[in-house]
Amino acid sequence: MHRVLTTCCFCACGCNLYLEVEAGKIIGVIPSREHPVARGNLCLKGWNSFGFVHHKDRLQYPLIRRKKHLVEANWEEALDLVAKRLLEIKERHGGRSLGVFSSAKCTNEENYLLMKFARAALKTNNVDHCARLCHSPSVIGLNNAFGSGAMTNSISELANAEVILVTGSNTTEQHPQIARFIFDALAKGAKLIVVDPRRIPLSRFAHVYLQPRLGTDVIWLNGMMKIILDEGLLDETFIKMRTENFRAFTEILRKFDLKQVEAVSGISVEDLERAARMYAGVKRAAIIYSMGITQHVSGTDNVQSIANLAMLTGHVEREFTGVGPLRGQNNVQGACDMGALPGTLSGYQDIASEEIRKKFERVWKTDLPSDRGLTGIDMLHSVGDKKIQGMFIMGENPALSHPDLKATRAALEDLEFLVVSDIFLTETAEFADVVLPAASFAEKDGTVTSTERRIQRIRRAIPPVGESKPDQQIICELASRMNYSMHYESSAEVMEEIAMLTPIYGGVYYDRLDKGWGLFWPCTNPDHPGTPFLHKGSFARGKGRFEYVVYRPPAEMPDDTYPFYLTTGRIYPHWHTGSMSRRIAALSRERPEAFVEINPKDAKRLGVANNKPVRVISRRGEITVKVRLTDDVPENTIFIPFHFREAPANILTHDKCDPGADIPEFKVCAVRLERVQ
Amino acid sequence: MPDELILNKEHLTGFLRKIANERELIAPVKNQYGDTLFEIVSCVDDVSLDLESRPVVPPKNFFLPRTEILFNYRHEGKEYRFEEALPDISRVLFGLRSCDLWAILFFDVVFQENFKDRYYLNRRSNTILINIGCHKPMQNCFCKSAQSGPFLAYGYDLQFTDMGDRFFVEIGRPGGRELVEKWDYFFEPVTQKDRNEQYEIVLEAESGFERIVDFDTAVSRFINDEVDEALWEELGNRCQGCGGCAYVCPTCYCFDIADRPVSDSKGERVRTHDACTLAGFTRLAGGYNPRHERRRRIRRRFYHKLAFAKERYHRPSCVGCGRCVEICFGRIDMIHFIRTVCEQPGKAMKASLRLGEILLDAGLISKEELKAALEKQADTGKPIGAQLIEDGVITKEDVARALGIQLGIP
């Protein structure tokens, strides 16, 4: 038996763990004790992260659709076919008719290579990934306010905060290791403010718990800032020295009517005052937020409001403070960093800038398309009118994760040509013309970037299962068949190219990563030590920018026909579309099936009982799912996790998006419930 | 050959090298990342042994692997064919702490008291155990309170005491004697001075514990049902359900068994570590879970470690290694627990569970429903079960099933 240190494949906490290998199989994991986030323990997902690697459903060879059925094929045949079809579409309709989904589950190197493949070989900027569905508002909102869209401070700093405000993040379930630092802070006497429409487990430890109605974040955030302004709790020196547009911002804020708060959000002014004084009254206060803030049509506004609040009180630019968008997937930060986005190349370098394009063109030895590409949502919206005809989807599963699944699946069905590379035959792969078997995290080398911007290694512990191949190899082999040479000796060599072209990764080399526990970007040159907290002394954009935000309600509100709010999300034992976690025995056993959380009072009115099925119907479709009675959801609000293919919550959700970030409003839509007889 | 010997430190590598040539040698190794793990050492000269810190996970994984194939099966026509995968390997575990060795002795009882587990016993009977007494107890160690260290009186094959430039070696079981006799030229006789020095070290170690906990009081309060219900509520909220306490515990032996298909016609029956804090651990087919609420599962865990083990094996099964103390997300570790239990005033708590609570624990009704039914019951005077059924909150079958399971009636 031997052990290989790697980074966990689930959430973006970035725990390092050892894979235990015996006779070519992974038999267990051990957390690293020295790793600053893992600290000798893992969450249940982490402890069982090896459980899907040898599952019999792993794709072991390529599949090609023949007479409506996916049948076994060899690599030559499959790759030749993919190259031929993609080239045909490109020649006939232009590169812009092709779209690429990169993957927050794949490595930095693979994301970089796929976006390079899209831009240099396919000649399209239509490249995106699931950050669109989780933190695109953070990337835009925090970039507008601070100049960088990532977590401002490192995870471990939380332990020394005096006040922590958690909103729209079910931290104990989705980022358990971050919750552990919150518990550490509490043990040292810190105060906790939790603001969440669901009474999440962390709320039991909150000194102030506020329960706003869904989609009213701008209201309570503005209210909180109004209180801070009225009571003079702001940090005037900080505002004067480090920010801009404050005067215009306060002129509008001054007129904000606190009466609105209770009327719209349901939070009493007294409670909000307590929270405001608590947050503004200390030197070291941090904000943690996640998808409860971003997955709204007002997602970018919500993020800007959070940035406003942090700047107003000077709780940013310093150690143990800051704004922390908790990223979901192991490498969603990295996939953004690598430019798997329609408008930016790696390191958030604007594709529209000629100077930037020239830099890449010189190294990539080809010319690049200059217009901003389509977002993931828009790509699928553009299938109907034939603007998008072919797609390459690497390790993503829109057929379960995208909103309004009927429309999403119809779009996947309508594609002229779809190729999917994944480790399992996902719901999306079932629509594919060619399926390419990919290697899992245990079977390849690379790096991933955690939510705290920590770039870390993943290391190959076993050879690829069956005939599967790492995505890096798949992309390169495909490129060479499309007359564009992409050849690398190793993933380390890819990182060298990334470092050459990407200022924030300029000093990231494998030998450095192998020495410590990774590097925090920005790390601009080989001697740069990395940056655990951002904006030290000055914001990345120069001065932090205040921008007043006007409240906009959710796109679809309950009415007489659809009287319930539906909010969707994740649960502790499962992971996104469940393709991995539901194949891990210990995790699947924890939550074998889908459920809907309903307040007992609503259940009584409807006559539905615990554990009994109920029909949930929206304007888009319906699902049948078992009831779970709980007071954790308020009346008139139900919660359904989106992991389960048998009862996909996203059949119900709508695809109205935030105008800036194009993120769908997964957190709010209107439904009705019917008893199943 | 006497029972006590001296091994000068410069001969340790030589002794271990000889062992590694003949058997699989497992020892605590500090790797390049700074983590100390029990590793299979094929070349003693290539690794840096770490005899000063506690390995991240206990050595139990070498006896009860995290994932273990019990047998392979094949489906041929109408028949199944089985092929047992019995382990067969000779090992020496060197550098165990007393707590970890004591935990293996505990496993020895568990894995053969009723059913002789051949997989475990095959590994165990082929393994020689060499512990190093803890001359410097670490922070969070409480083996003295758990009576499993810092030095052992028996149970080891060899017990080493670090005396600076040399080890004082005590020979215990025959496996140890075999090793020493085979390579006796590494060893020297002990003097009375060595004995006195070793005795001093043991005494000093025993007085060096920062953590002292009162197992007896905790166990007795448990057995007398004197643990405050509010404590379970608090611990239930704090527990994050990671399972880590069981995965790192040297005496947690619960496992799950499942058939894992490899292809349509072939498969493996595997045994994996399990954790009693998980909801799936006690959930029955059909979905009913007698310990639906996390606080019940936490209670069960501590009950098993303390009261159950005391009744069955005459001592708690916690060995005081301190691992759970360091890793718990919610600070629900053995030290914290025992201290809290001992601090609360002793009082007789109600012993029997009421039906409402049983149904609540099983997740069949909500707190609010129970409250509403209790209020109504005050007027109607009906039994609570009848009231809940009348209110349409629950069916007769659910009540019967919950009651039956709770009372042990099938």
Is pLDDT above 80 for B340? yes
Long-range contacts of A61-68 (CB under 8 A, 24+ apart): A61/A437, A61/A466, A61/A467, A62/A434, A62/A435, A62/A436, A62/A437, A62/A467, A63/A425, A63/A432, A63/A434, A63/A435, A64/A433, A64/A434, A65/A432, A65/A433, A65/A434
| Residue (of A278, A133, A145, A261) closest to A209 by Cα position | A278
- Of A22, A183, A607, which has the smallest distance from its Cβ to B329's Cβ? A183
- Cα dihedral A619, A620, A623, A626, rounded to 10, equals -50
Query: Within the 372-411 window of chain A, which residues sit less than 8 Å (CB to CB) from chain B?
Result: none
State the SS3 of A93-127.
HCHHHEEEECCCCCCHHHHHHHHHHHHHHHCCCCE
Q: Is B66 helix (H, G, I), strand (E, B) or coil?
A: coil
Domains of chain A: 2-47 (2.20.25.90), 63-132+330-443+461-486 (3.40.50.740), 136-326 (3.40.228.10), 564-675 (2.40.40.20)
Residue A195, strand partner residues: A167, A210
Edge-to-edge strand ranges of the sheet holding A16-22: A2-7, A16-22, A25-31
Does residue B98 belong to the interface with chain A, where contact is any CB pair within 8 Å? Answer: no
Q: CA of B173, closest CA in chain A: separation in Å?
A: 27
Q: Where are the domains of chain B?
A: 4-67+76-206, 215-253+276-343, 355-406
Looking at beta carbons, which residues of chain B come within 8 Å of A176?
Answer: 240, 242, 329
Neighbours of B186 (CB within 10 A): 20
Cβ contact, residue pair A32, B33, below 8 Å: yes
Name the closest residue on chain A to residue B262, using Cα atoms.
Answer: A56
pLDDT for position B352: 41
Contact B163, B130 (CB under 8 A): no
DSSP 8-state class, residue A168? S
State the SS3 of A173-217.
HHCHHHHHHHHHHHHCCCEEEEECCCCCHHHHHCCEEECCCCCCH
Residue A371 neighbours by CB under 8 Å, 6+ apart: A125, A351, A352
pLDDT for position B396: 75
Q: What is the mean pLDDT of residues B149-154?
A: 95
* The pairing of beta strand A622-629 with beta strand B67-76: unpaired
Cβ contact, residue pair A41, B392, below 8 Å: no
pLDDT single digits (tens) A511-533:
999 998 999 999 999 999 999 88
Residue A93 neighbours by CB under 8 Å, 6+ apart: A386, A389
pLDDT single digits (tens) A550-570:
999 999 999 999 999 999 999
Record the tokens describing residue B154, joined without a space. Answer: 């028996």
- Cα dist. A156→A185, A321, B129 in Å? 10, 11, 39
Q: How confident is the model at residue B228 (pLDDT cuts 50, 70, 90)?
A: confident
Burial of A560 (0-12, 13-18, 19+ CB in 10 A): exposed
- Of A30, A205, A610, which has the smallest distance from its Cβ to B37's Cβ? A30
- Of A16, A33, A176, which has the smallest distance from its Cβ to B329's Cβ? A176
% of chain B at pLDDT higher than 70: 94
Is pLDDT above 70 for B405? no
- Ranked by mean pLDDT, the top range of A534-543, B245-254, B276-285, B364-373 is B245-254
Does residue A607 belong to the interface with chain B, where contact is any CB pair within 8 Å? Answer: yes
- Cα dihedral A169, A170, A176, A180, rounded to 10, equals 80
DSSP 8-state class, residue B186? G
- Of B66, B263, B327, which has the smallest distance from its Cβ to A41's Cβ? B327
pLDDT single digits (tens) A459-501:
999 999 999 999 999 999 999 999 999 999 999 999 999 999 9
To test the contact with chain B by mutation, choose from A6, A11, A25, A47 the residue with the greatest count of B C-beta atoms within 10 A, namely: A47
- Give the residue carrying structure tokens 């932090």: A544
Q: What is the mean pLDDT of residues B29-55?
A: 95
Separation of alpha carbons B358 and A453, rounded Å? 47
- Give the residue carrying structure tokens 């092709």: A98
| Residue (of B393, B394, B390, B392) closest to B381 by Cα position | B390
Does residue B233 belong to the interface with chain A, where contact is any CB pair within 8 Å? Answer: no
- Of A1, A32, A177, which has the smallest distance from its Cβ to B35's Cβ? A32
DSSP 8-state class, residue B139? T
For chain A, the first-to-last Cα distance in angstroms comes to 55
Q: How confident is the model at residue B403 (pLDDT cuts 50, 70, 90)?
A: low
pLDDT for position A537: 82
Is pLDDT above 70 for B351? no
Average pLDDT, chain A: 96
| Residue (of A267, A274, A268, A253) closest to A163 by Cα position | A274
Neighbours of A184 (CB within 10 A): 18
Separation of alpha carbons A360 and A119, rounded Å? 10
Q: What is the mean pLDDT of residues B367-389?
A: 75
Query: Within the 325-344 window of chain B, which residues sit less than 8 Å (CB to CB) from chain A?
Result: 326-331
pLDDT for position A126: 98
Is pLDDT above 90 for A43? yes
Residue B218 neighbours by CB under 8 Å, 6+ apart: B306, B337, B338, B341, B342
Burial of A413 (0-12, 13-18, 19+ CB in 10 A): exposed
Predicted complex ipTM: 0.93
- Of B243, B323, B363, which has the smallest distance from its Cβ to A610's Cβ? B363
Looking at beta carbons, which residues of chain A come within 8 Å of B395?
Answer: 609
pLDDT single digits (tens) B189-206:
999 999 999 999 999 999
Residue B373 neighbours by CB under 8 Å, 6+ apart: B356, B365, B384, B387, B388, B391, B393
Separation of alpha carbons A484 and A487, rounded Å? 10
pLDDT single digits (tens) A116-155:
999 999 999 999 999 999 999 999 999 999 999 889 999 9
pLDDT for position B287: 84
pLDDT single digits (tens) A644-667:
999 999 999 999 999 999 999 999
Separation of alpha carbons B291 and B358, rounded Å? 9
Cβ contact, residue pair B260, A56, below 8 Å: yes
CA–CA–CA angle B180, B186, B187 (5° rounding): 70
Neighbours of A583 (CB within 10 A): 18
Name the closest residue on chain B to residue A586, using Cα atoms.
Answer: B280
Record the tokens describing residue B192, joined without a space. Answer: 């009375």
Is pLDDT above 80 for B66? yes
Q: CA of A560, closest CA in chain B: separation in Å?
A: 26
Q: What is the mean pLDDT of residues A258-267?
A: 96
- Amino acid identity for residue A456 in this structure: Q
Q: How confident is the model at residue B402 (pLDDT cuts 50, 70, 90)?
A: low
Is pLDDT above 90 for B170? yes
Query: Within the 235-254 window of chain B, which residues sit less than 8 Å (CB to CB) from chain A?
Result: 237-238, 240-244, 247-248
Quote the pTM value: 0.92
pLDDT for position B177: 97
- Cα dist. A504→A87, A347, A349, A362, A511 in Å? 34, 6, 10, 19, 17
Contact A517, A456 (CB under 8 A): yes
Neighbours of A651 (CB within 10 A): 22
Separation of alpha carbons A98 and A87, rounded Å? 10
Looking at beta carbons, which residues of chain B come within 8 Å of A30?
Answer: 37, 56-57
Does residue A19 belong to the interface with chain B, where contact is any CB pair within 8 Å? Answer: no
Separation of alpha carbons B271 and A180, rounded Å? 30
Contact A598, A633 (CB under 8 A): yes
pLDDT single digits (tens) A50-109:
999 999 999 999 999 999 999 999 999 999 999 999 999 999 999 999 999 999 999 999
pLDDT single digits (tens) A9-21:
999 999 999 999 9
Handedness of CA A342, A347, A352, A354 (dihedral sign): negative
